[in-house]
Structure 1
């Protein structure tokens, strides 16, 4: 059975939980409070030298870090990852987009807003972060207003990766009212998932 080290408010950890749930893969959850430094202990750093969650421990004891790498591992050979070469590359394209353009803005603002911020320094960064976040949403909207899902018109880990922080974007002050494609897509993903997981942000 898999062992998942996770911090429940984390969108990156949520991705992995959503994939495990969708694939009906049993796992044991080990919660680590990153706010209390529980991923910086010697014991945890032996598992992941980068000291971050999520961390998936495989049945053979090996550990795999980085949420999107974990998604790729879990999705291999399943309906969540296309076998066609270009479609698989497009999934990777969205995973890289999520980490480079989406998460650093939408997820960061969400963290600031839900953890006592923004601070004075963060206030100075806020306009640029918000602008970049909306630009990322624009990219998604351009795809989703024409297609039901991000890649090959079917549900994949690309959707899981982008859903994790998009469905809570409002917590970072992002208004999705002008994004009908994204709104329809969010509902589709929610309908595919178990309600108990969707409410477990």
Structure 2
């Protein structure tokens, strides 16, 4: 397999993390913002939706969108529950991540760290994202106070998915995670998994 991956992106990272936890071999092509590699990937049609990640399978098929890739790689593994309801719970968190969480937590980090996004980083916009992000982190905290993992008794793709941007919400997004001890403990549990790699790993 070949993975076109943006190194600084949580969406790309969550795929790299799952592949590492599964111990699966793949070829990695880094396509960071404003890089020649990204321009070439666009020209070659390697990115079906115009963005990373994109997973190129050995048979020539290509899969885009991070959570779709997670579902494909996680099918039949311990990261996907066999129970229908538990699987639906997992998917609900994954839908929530893209529909609510990513558009706030990831966007605040992007405004602070990507040069081309800095004009958007007005004090008002950053404060709005901080307030909304804290409410989203509280949703995770409330769940993780009651259970070890987001979608049941074992780690699932939901945890891998939400870890992507949550684990750097403080260092990249400027969120104070001290009010979320259950979330921080969850973050530590994932970082301790065999095969774990960090964002820069």
Tell me if TM exceeds 0.5. yes
Mapped to 2, the partners of 1:90 and 1:115 lie a distance apart of 33
- Greater alpha carbon shift after TM alignment, 32-41 vs 128-137: 32-41
With over 3 angstroms needed to count, the CA separation of the structure-2 counterparts of 1:111 and 1:10, relative to structure 1, is same
Q: Which residue of 2 aligns with 1:59?
A: 58
Q: Which residue of 2 aligns with 1:130?
A: 130
RMSD of the TM alignment (CA)? 1.9
Decide whether the 8 Å contact of 1:40 with 1:51 is kept in 2: no
Query: How far 1:34 sits from its partner (Å)?
Result: 2.5
Q: Which residue of 1 aligns with 2:182?
A: 181
2:192 is paired with a residue whose SS is helix
Unaligned runs of 5+ in 2: none
TM-score, normalised to structure 2, is 0.91
Deviations 1:52-105 (A, max 9, x none): 000000111110000000000000000000011111111110001111111111
Q: Which residue of 2 aligns with 1:25?
A: 24
State how 1:140-179 maps to structure 2 within 5 Å. Answer: 140-170=140-170, 171-179=172-180
Query: How far 1:113 sits from its partner (Å)?
Result: 1.1
Q: Which residue of 2 aligns with 1:192?
A: 193
Unaligned runs of 5+ in 1: none
Q: Which residue of 2 aligns with 1:87?
A: 86
With over 3 angstroms needed to count, the CA separation of the structure-2 counterparts of 1:80 and 1:120, relative to structure 1, is closer
State how 1:28-47 maps to structure 2 within 5 Å. Answer: 28-36=27-35, 38-41=37-40, 44=43, 46-47=45-46
TM-score, normalised to structure 1, is 0.91
Deviations 1:95-147 (A, max 9, x none): 01111111111111111111246426643322221111111101100100111
* Shift >3 Å, 4+ stretches: 36-45, 120-124
